[in-house]
Amino acid sequence: MQAGARIGARRAAPAGTRVDGDLGPGSPGAAAGGGERSFRGTADRLAGLEETRTANRLAEVLEPMIAGCEREVARLRQQYLEKRIERRQARR
């Protein structure tokens, strides 16, 4: 059986063209081959997981701070409305 006759055998592509699955000369990880591409994929997934965990921790910290600010806004709004009503009644 000839090498080119096998099913799924890769044929040589003209110089300067990309074949599916190949890393082109200008792409990241081209010098290291597929191994580095696999490592980068794993590193990207791990980085994404870490970013998710960090966002969750920040949300836990920010949630009580936001709730406190909302209470403060409500208090200041009530204080403002009371003063406004007081001034309107004084003009009458």
In angstroms, rounded to a whole number, what is the distance separating the alpha carbons of residues 71 and 65? Answer: 10
Q: If you average pLDDT over residues 67-89, what whole number do you get?
A: 97
Whole-structure pTM value: 0.48
What is the helix, strand, coil percentage profile of the chain, to 5? 65, 0, 35
Confidence band (pLDDT; 50, 70, 90) for 39? Answer: confident
Q: If you average pLDDT over residues 73-91, what whole number do you get?
A: 95
Residue 92: predicted pLDDT = 75
In angstroms, rounded to a whole number, what is the distance separating the alpha carbons of residues 55 and 61? Answer: 10
Q: What is the pLDDT of residues 1-26, one digit of tens each?
A: 454 444 544 555 555 555 455 555 55
